[in-house]
């Protein structure tokens, strides 16, 4: 029966995709995957009524669009307050403790989760009954753009949650990013075509997410780390909520179970010294990572602690982004040139011997003012 074979192929290929792109542990040879994929395409084209939205063939099915619809966020996407050194981290920690004490929370067991701050673009994924129905950019935090067809091409994002009892609605948030290698490759290609280069992986990712042709997006091999879940309140408050969790650490576990890629370098920590060591470790080791990170994010682990500390207008009090100092590297200036933009604006550009910064080779920088040119 075609319908049975379609279901079998769909499940097998989705599982293979998860093993390959999320677990980094493939179990199917590429050639076999391709062969089964072609069989599925053939069967679906003979039985279009049997194509389901979570079929792997639906990741790049869509044709170019004219633009993106705007999308209002059910829950705003806030940003994070920043700290730029360990002193500022300590200040945040003292403030948090005061808040908790004022709310009569016991702070002698204040666990924190340290995560890498991925230098990409925040996206919000809506799942209804386990099925991915919408993906939106952050935009101004209350309203973003609907980029669903582009996001479906990201193979580490499940089209269906891997849960027996999925919530009626859930929103997963995380960071889309371009691995450094792919970024270098895209810029090399752009250079050959005489096109303007992307300044860094984050810009390349943002530019790609807003590409009108999902086929180009699919070729750019974006990736995604998930870090936040929003559940419907009525669901959390019922006692038969199946996977009840009450901390950030549990959320990360839930996200893994549901099929997402969670950054493996996250750590559950019990005191400030560990947090400081976590920051120092990644400040050194970040250059070995295959993607860009511009700091670490420290979050109170316990949701009760998060509720007690609450939010300011723009950011949660229960989290802080501890940013790395801007990177510097000496190199030799080769020449100063001028770049003429499409609107006729002229920007001076310094060309120098390539240096490695944030994991990518840099050989040009725009210089915006007379002091810098001098």
Which are the catalytic amino acids? 117
Q: Residue 201 Cβ, how far from ligand IVH at the closest point, in Å?
A: 13
* Spatial separation of the C-alpha atoms in residues 177 and 93, rounded to whole Å: 29
Residue in the block written with tokens 């609450």:
310
Residue 75: exposure state from Cβ atoms within 10 A (0-12, 13-18, ≥19): exposed
* Positions in 198-257 near ligand IVH (CB under 6 A): 227-228
Give every CB contact of residue 127 below 8 A, 6+ residues apart in sequence: 133, 161, 166, 167, 169, 170, 171, 172
Q: Residue 205 Cβ, how far from ligand IVH at the closest point, in Å?
A: 11
Nearer to ligand IVH, 171 or 175 (CB): 175
**Residue 297 lies near ligand IVH (rule: CB under 6 A):** yes
Q: Residue 260 Cβ, how far from ligand IVH at the closest point, in Å?
A: 13
DSSP character at residue 63: P
The one among 43, 105, 118, 358 contacting ligand IVH by CB under 6 A: 118
Q: Residue 101 Cβ, how far from ligand IVH at the closest point, in Å?
A: 23
How many residues contact ligand IVH, by CB under 6 A? 14
**Residue 80 lies near ligand IVH (rule: CB under 6 A):** yes
Nearest Cα residue to 59 out of 20, 13, 28: 13
Nearer to ligand IVH, 79 or 363 (CB): 79
From 38-46, 114-122, 129-137, 301-309, give the range in contact with ligand IVH by CB under 6 A. Answer: 114-122
Nearer to ligand IVH, 40 or 321 (CB): 321
The one among 18, 73, 117, 160 contacting ligand IVH by CB under 6 A: 117
Give every CB contact of residue 159 below 8 A, 6+ residues apart in sequence: 14, 53, 54, 55, 56, 58, 59, 131, 132, 152
Residue in the block written with tokens 């590409």:
211
Pairing of strands 169-177, 121-128: antiparallel
* Spatial separation of the C-alpha atoms in residues 82 and 75, rounded to whole Å: 22
Q: Residue 79 Cβ, how far from ligand IVH at the closest point, in Å?
A: 5
- Return the residue nearest ligand IVH (CB atom): 122
Nearer to ligand IVH, 57 or 306 (CB): 306
Nearer to ligand IVH, 82 or 97 (CB): 82
User: Which residues are paired to 136 by β-bridges?
Assistant: 124, 146
Residue in the block written with tokens 């470790």:
281
* Positions in 302-341 near ligand IVH (CB under 6 A): 316, 319, 321
Q: What are the phi and psi torsion angles at 87 (to 5°)? A: -60, -45
Q: Residue 107 Cβ, how far from ligand IVH at the closest point, in Å?
A: 21
**Residue 123 lies near ligand IVH (rule: CB under 6 A):** no
DSSP E strand stretches across 15-81: 70-72
Nearest Cα residue to 172 out of 160, 184, 182, 181: 160
Nearer to ligand IVH, 17 or 122 (CB): 122
The one among 44, 145, 175, 302 contacting ligand IVH by CB under 6 A: 175
What residues line the site for ligand IVH (CB under 6 A)?
A: 78-80, 115, 117-118, 122, 175, 227-228, 297, 316, 319, 321
């Amino acid at each position: 029966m075609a319908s049975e074979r379609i279901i079998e192929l769909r499940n097998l290929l989705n599982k293979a995709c998860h093993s390959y792109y999320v677990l980094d542990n493939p179990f199917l040879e590429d050639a076999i995957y391709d062969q089964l994929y072609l069989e599925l395409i053939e069967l679906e084209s003979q039985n279009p009524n049997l194509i389901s939205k979570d079929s792997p063939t639906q990741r790049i099915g869509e044709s170019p669009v004219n633009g993106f619809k705007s999308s209002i966020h059910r829950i705003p996407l806030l940003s994070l307050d920043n700290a730029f050194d360990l002193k500022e981290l300590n200040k945040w920690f003292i403030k948090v403790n005061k808040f908790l004490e004022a709310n009569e929370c016991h702070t002698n067991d204040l666990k924190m989760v340290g995560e890498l701050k991925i230098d990409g673009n925040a996206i919000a994924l809506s799942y209804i009954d386990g099925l991915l129905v919408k993906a939106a950019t952050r935009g101004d935090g209350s309203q973003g753009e609907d980029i669903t067809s582009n996001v479906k091409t990201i193979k580490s994002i499940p089209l269906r949650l891997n849960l027996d009892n999925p919530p009626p609605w859930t929103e997963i948030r995380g960071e889309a990013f371009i691995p450094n290698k792919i970024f270098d490759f895209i810029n090399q290609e752009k250079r050959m075509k005489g096109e303007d280069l992307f300044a860094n992986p984050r810009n390349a990712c943002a530019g790609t997410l807003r590409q009108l042709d999902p086929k180009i997006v699919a070729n750019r091999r974006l990736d995604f780390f998930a870090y936040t879940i929003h559940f419907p309140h009525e669901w959390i408050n019922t006692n038969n909520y199946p996977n009840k969790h009450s901390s950030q650490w549990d959320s990360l576990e839930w996200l893994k179970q549901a099929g997402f890629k969670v950054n493996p370098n996250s750590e559950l920590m019990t005191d400030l010294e560990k947090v400081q060591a976590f920051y120092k470790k990644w400040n050194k080791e970040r250059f070995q990572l295959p993607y860009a990170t511009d700091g670490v994010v420290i979050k109170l682990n316990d949701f009760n602690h998060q509720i007690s500390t609450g939010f300011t207008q723009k950011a949660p009090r229960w989290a802080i982004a501890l940013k790395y100092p801007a990177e510097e590297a000496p190199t030799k200036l080769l020449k100063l040139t001028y770049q003429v933009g499409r609107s006729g604006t002229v920007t001076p550009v310094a060309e120098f011997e390539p240096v490695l910064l944030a994991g990518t080779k840099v050989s040009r920088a725009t210089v915006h003012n007379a002091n810098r040119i001098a």
